Amino acid sequence: MVRGPVYHGKESATQTPADALVQQSSGEIWGYPAIYSTIPKVKAFAGPLPPGQRGIEFITDEQPDPGGHPGLPEWSGPHRQVIDGSGRIAARIRVVVTRNAQP
């Protein structure tokens, strides 16, 4: 059973309603390198989704990277890397989406 703190991701160009549905059904969130980086990371915000904000809430057993900003957890590292269908490297964490506010 997955337990742990609640995190959230806000709807954006890289967190679309279609992405939210895939994350909810697959139980995974994938993250790609930021612009000017080669390190794939899943990025989120700590805590529940603010009222009125579109996005997802999730929990995970996986610990964020140590030493990061406490309000902006990230998950990276070679043990999380996967290759997507287009050959791009992504980071992946297993999650349970507890709320999808991206209808």
What tens digit of pLDDT does each residue of 37-88 get?
A: 999 999 999 999 999 999 999 999 999 999 999 899 999 988 889 999 999 9
Domain assignment present for residue 12? The answer is yes
Please determine, for residue 1, whether its predicted confidence score (pLDDT) is greater than 70.
no
Domain assignment present for residue 74? The answer is yes
Please determine, for residue 2, whether its predicted confidence score (pLDDT) is greater than 80.
no
Total number of domains constituting the chain: 1
The H-or-E segment that residue 84 falls in is none
Please determine, for residue 31, whether its predicted confidence score (pLDDT) is greater than 80.
yes
Domain assignment present for residue 1? The answer is no
Please name the residue ranges forming H helices in the chain: 17-26
Average pLDDT over residues 81-96: 93
Domain assignment present for residue 22? The answer is yes
Domain assignment present for residue 68? The answer is yes
- Give yes or no for a contact between 75 and 21, defined as CB atoms under 8 angstroms apart: no
**Domain span at residue 80?**
6-100
Domain assignment present for residue 36? The answer is yes
Please determine, for residue 103, whether its predicted confidence score (pLDDT) is greater than 80.
no
Domain assignment present for residue 49? The answer is yes
Q: What is this structure's pTM?
A: 0.91
Residue 56, C-beta contacts closer than 8 angstroms, at least 6 positions apart? 8, 9, 15, 20, 23, 24, 49, 97, 99, 100, 101, 102
Q: Which two tokens stand for residue 38?
A: 């080669």
pLDDT at 45: 97
The H-or-E segment that residue 4 falls in is none
Domain assignment present for residue 76? The answer is yes
